[in-house]
Amino acid sequence: MTIKKEITGDKLTLTMEGRLDTATALQLEGDLLPALGKYQIVEMDFAEVSYVSSAGLRVLLMGEKAAIANNTRQTLRNVSPQIMDVFEITGFSATLNIE
């Protein structure tokens, strides 16, 4: 997985490409969790994410909890129908801020 970072004022955008799985979840965790205490908004662009495993879901849930604790906002954008199915089946679509 590749993750590109773009900072605009108090917003960080993480544009991801590839699979969010056991092998790459720690990479996202390392970029996401510290950012949720530093920026008001952290957006993740999922347009090029092809797969999300339970390890990826774990990181997204940790991010949502960190966002709430730090009074920041974690947002997922451009989620494909296939990935949205995963979020809906697992109940994450009700927990995560998906636009």
Q: What is the pLDDT of residues 15-34, one digit of tens each?
A: 999 999 999 999 999 999 99
pTM for the model: 0.94
Q: Report residue 9's pLDDT band, with 50, 70 and 90 as the boundaries.
A: very high
Residue 52 is which amino acid? V
First to last CA, the chain: 22
Decide if 42 contacts 35 (C-beta within 8 A).
yes
DSSP state of 98: B
Q: Which distant-in-sequence residues (6+ apart) come within 8 Å of 81 by Cβ? A: none
- Banded pLDDT at 1 (limits 50, 70, 90): very high
Place 74 in a pLDDT band, splitting at 50, 70 and 90. Answer: very high
Nearest-CA neighbor of 60 among 80, 82, 83? Answer: 83
